[in-house]
Structure 1
Amino acid sequence: MYKLTIFHFLASFCNTFLVAYPRKVLVEKCLSSNLSRRVGKQQFVIPLNVLDLVYSQTVTWVGVFYCPLLPAINILKLLAIFYIIKFNLVRCCDPPRKVFRTTSSSVLFHFMLLLGLIMSAVTLGVHIELFVPGKCGPFNGYQTVYNVTTDCVSTLPNAAKEGIRYMTSEAFAFTIILMEIIILTSYVSRGRANQKAIERLKDMLVMCGSDKRYLVKHHATLLRQRQRRTVNRSEKVASQQ
């Protein structure tokens, strides 16, 4: 897991500074060549960058049991990758040709993130269940991993013990589930309200467009009538003379 994290950081770094930036320099300095026109600058594809973040999160979930320092390393890696991708976006890339659709892609991103969470949870659960402690390490002398956690909790102060017992109780789980239901209900209601407001605004825009067309037509007819009146007056004056 350490190797996967470091390799992902090196891949992002090399893609920006060894591929995208030289490509951008070549395109800007050789504008007259046909090769530079065909190659062009690298396009910034939002789904691929989001999937990279999902991949990093999945690797962290899988490796957190085996590598305790992996979350801290992943935080530093994501901070560095953020500025690397920002440099790549601002200096080296062109906007994508296809329009990014958030409505369809966000569902896919959430599904991939949920799938990574389920895969990592199942993998860790099976491995912890079938884990046989060795002769060295923190699990030496224990039959399962759960025995280590119970012994560690027993050495804590009473306040910490009560807090952990409450966090592992049914009351805390019921409170968390109730809070999640309330938050999800509020978000769904806000989404529906925003959708209705957007539909109303669209109807108002259509009505405003029809009103503008009517006013333009009415103004055009008034101008024609004025022109006709002026022409008739000029003809009458010419006939009288």
Structure 2
Amino acid sequence: MVGPQEFDLTQSVVDIVYSQNICWLGMMFSPLIPFMTFLKILIFFYSKKFLLKYCEAQERPYRTSRSNSLFMLVLLLSFVFAAAPIGYMVGRLQPSQSCGPFRLYADANVVMFNTVSYTVASWPGVLRGIFSFLGTVGFFVPVIIALCLLMYYYWLLGQGYKKTEKILQHQLKLEGQDKRYLMDRVTEFLESTEVNQNTLHNAAL
């Protein structure tokens, strides 16, 4: 409680992910939540930026590559957990008749997703055709294949970086051994030179 505080980078990132998850869950029902989340994150960012002047670094080393992968995984899981209940509510539940942006479509046989169908039906024919194509198998299959290839490429890239890291670590280890060997030879040479000088000095006396 006394002295400079330690800045917890991991906790700060988790707070941002939590705020983003709350925004994803609530923006379907309250249009102002994204704006409120933006203000919150903006205020928190500049507050923590100001407090960094009075904080000290973490004692534990921060490994950027591994932590970045972990944060991206947590963000992806948060998005899935936020999208699943919203998808269920949009596709299965009837809109509220008293409040909300979908109250105009409140009916016994209408769900919130029908508003998308009504909106698309009012578009021009070309836009309706494009939107209909986005929901077909002919669009999803190439996209899934492209995403799988992209994921495989980044996985290979990560494996290459790991191998390069191991090679560099091995080279650093060999360089350290070489330096130690050279220092030992220099020390032995200096000791032998000193012994020879002492021998010559004793012989001269």
In the superposition, the TM-score normalised over structure 2's length comes to 0.83
| Partner of residue 55 from structure 1, selected from 5, 15, 18 | 18
Aligned length: 200
Report the CA distance shift for 1:70/1:171 in structure 2 as closer, same or farther (over 3 A): farther
Q: Which amino acid aligns with 1:98?
A: R
Q: Secondary structure at the match of 1:138?
A: helix
Tell me, in whole angstroms, the C-alpha distance in 1 between the residues paired with 2:62 and 2:104.
49
Q: Separation in 1 of the partners of 2:5 and 2:93?
A: 47
**What's the C-alpha RMSD, in Å, of the aligned pairs?**
2.5
What residue number does 1:81 align with? 44
Q: 1:135 and 1:216 mapped to 2: Cα distance?
A: 84
- The correspondence of residues 19-168 of structure 1 with structure 2, limited to 5 A, is 39-89=2-52, 91-102=53-64, 105-106=67-68, 108-128=70-90, 129-134=92-97, 137-140=103-106, 143-168=110-135
Seen in structure 2, the aligned counterparts of structure 1 residues 138 and 176 have a Cα distance that, compared at 3 Å, is farther
Conserved 8 A contact 1:133-1:144: no
CA pair 178-79 structure 1, distance change in 2 beyond 3 A: farther
Give, as a single letter, the amino acid of the residue that structure 2 aligns with 1:174. Answer: V
Retained in 1: the 8 A contact 2:23–2:34? yes
Gaps of 5+ in 2: none
The structure-2 alpha-carbon separation of the partners of 1:226 and 1:164, relative to structure 1 and needing over 3 Å to count, comes to same
Q: How many angstroms does 1:144 deviate by?
A: 1.8
Question: Residue by residue, what CA displacement relative to the aligned partner does 1:205-232 show, whole Å, maximum 9, x if unpaired?
Answer: 1111111111111111111221222222
**Counterpart AA for 2:179:** K
In the other structure, the counterpart of 1:171 is 138
Alignment correspondent of 2:149: 182
CA distance in structure 2 between the partners assigned to 1:164 and 1:106 by the alignment: 35
Question: Using the alignment, how far apart are the partners of 1:72 and 1:159 within structure 2?
Answer: 33
Change in CA separation of 1:173 and 1:76 when aligned onto 2, cut-off 3 Å: farther
* Runs ≥4 residues deviating over 6 A: none
Shift of 1:107: 5.7
- In structure 1, give the amino acid aligned to 2:28: F
Cα shift at 1:103: 6.3
- Whether the aligned pair in 1 keeps the contact of 2:93 and 2:112 (CA below 8 Å) is no
- Structure 1 residues 152-161 or 141-150, which shifts more? 141-150
Which of 186, 189, 192 matches 1:219? 186
For residue 47 of structure 1, give the secondary structure of its aligned residue in structure 2. Answer: helix
Name the amino acid aligned to 2:88: V
Q: Structure 1 pair 92/227, CA: closer, same or farther in 2 (3 Å)?
A: closer
| Distance in 1, Cα, partners of 2:145 & 2:35 | 31
For residue 194 of structure 1, what is the aligned residue in structure 2?
A: 161
Structure 2: distance between partners of 1:209 and 1:192: 26
Structure 1 portions without partners, runs of 5+: 1-37
Preserved contact between residue 134 and residue 140 of structure 2 (Cα < 8 Å): yes
